[in-house]
């Protein structure tokens, strides 16, 4: 009699452990999907902002070139001045490319660490565990 009880307990325990492992795997997949979705949303928003920024800069440059051309009575000179300014900005950007990249990487890392900390805090609040 005890063997049947112990054996059924073992089967039930095995089923529970199996269900738990499957649930943890599913949870891990969902967390990975959420992180991928956040990364894709962030990349999409950065690309959209870059595109809008480019077109804004492009049209402001054309407008400024036309304005300077009328003010100087020489449209070619207006476009030359604005093109020179744009070239200067481009050269400065290339010169400081590594510093700009380092700054951007640092901000991205800080944001990821904030999100990780937020995730850890929310998981500790739901489980009631505290970490020292």
Report the alpha-carbon distance of residue 33 to residue 120 in Å, rounded.
17
Does 132 score more than 50 pLDDT?
no
Does 63 score more than 80 pLDDT?
yes
Side-chain-side CA neighbours of 130 within 13 Å: the count stands at 1
51 domain residue, yes or no: yes
37 domain residue, yes or no: yes
60 domain residue, yes or no: yes
Please give the residue that has the higher pLDDT: either 104 or 4: 104
Residues 66 and 78 sit within 8 Å (Cβ to Cβ)? yes
128 domain residue, yes or no: no
130 domain residue, yes or no: no
Give the residue among 39, 44, 107 at the shortest CA–CA distance from 31. 39
**pTM exceeding the 0.75 threshold for the entire prediction:** no
131 domain residue, yes or no: no
Report the alpha-carbon distance of residue 41 to residue 110 in Å, rounded.
18
129 domain residue, yes or no: no
Average pLDDT estimate for 72-82: 93
132 domain residue, yes or no: no
Share of the chain above pLDDT 90, in %: 44
- At 102, the pLDDT band (50, 70, 90 cuts) reads confident
Count of domains for the chain: 1
Report the alpha-carbon distance of residue 12 to residue 113 in Å, rounded.
40
Does 128 score more than 60 pLDDT?
no
Residue 103 structural domain? 2-123
């Amino acid at each position: 009699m005890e063997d049947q009880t112990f054996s059924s307990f073992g089967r039930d325990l095995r089923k529970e452990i199996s269900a738990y492992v499957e649930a943890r795997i599913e949870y891990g997949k969902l967390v990975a999907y959420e992180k991928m979705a956040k990364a894709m949303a962030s990349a999409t928003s950065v690309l959209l902002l870059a595109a809008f920024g480019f077109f804004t800069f492009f049209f402001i440059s054309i407008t400024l070139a036309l304005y300077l051309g009328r003010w100087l009575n020489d449209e070619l000179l207006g476009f030359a001045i604005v093109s020179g300014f744009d070239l200067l900005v481009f050269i400065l950007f290339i010169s400081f490319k590594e510093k700009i990249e380092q700054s951007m990487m640092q901000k991205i890392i800080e944001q990821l660490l904030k999100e990780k900390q937020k995730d850890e805090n929310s998981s500790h609040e739901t489980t009631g565990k505290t970490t020292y």
